[in-house]
Amino acid sequence: MAELQQLQEFEIPTGREALRGNHSALLRVADYCEDNYAQATDKRKALEETMAFTTQALASVAYQVGNLAGNTVRMLDLQAVALRQVEARVSTLGQMVNMHMEKVARREIGTLATVQRLHPSQKVIAPKSLPPLTPYFRKPLNFGCLDDIGHGIKVETGPLLFLHHLPPSLSLPHPCSCPHFLKPTPSLKTSTTGLHPVPK
């Protein structure tokens, strides 16, 4: 960093000032060479002197330009190195942040994976005496409990009374073609004693 600061604050500004000074010096040398060639009696000697001044001036300018260019390239190299160092520091900080975040995530996962102990709660206590159970009774099936539901024809008594309530548009099949149509069905025998307890 000290070398970079020296190049930026001293050497490069000095080289630029030297080039500006050479510019004015070259203008004076050019005026002198022109006047000397115009006033000289020996043109050959004046031309050789002008050529010597020109060669010396060009060499001085080339040296100063090369020196300034070298210092500029050196400054750029040092800045690139400093930039790479800053980039490496930023990358290191990023890795440290990622490691810290991973540690925090692992810690959270560990807290979730620990065994959670349940708080003690009140136990279920059995009652001292159970209520008495009612005995089961077998009830007979009532096949006529749904006769009043719907829009069908209700049969009051006997299997043949519904024939008198049919409209004249409806016709029944002949008894010969359907011999079992009017055959009375055996009625279910219901018990007159009511409910029967289930034998144990």
- The whole-number mean pLDDT for each consecutive block of 10 residues of the chain, a chain of 200 residues, reads 75 82 83 82 83 85 86 88 93 95 91 77 80 87 83 60 49 46 45 47
> For position 23, what pLDDT does the model report?
83
> For position 156, what pLDDT does the model report?
61
> For position 175, what pLDDT does the model report?
45
> For position 96, what pLDDT does the model report?
95
> For position 38, what pLDDT does the model report?
82
Q: With 0.75 as the threshold, say if the pTM is over it.
A: no
The CA–CA distances, whole Å, from 20 to 10, 24, 26, 29, 156 equal 16, 7, 10, 14, 135
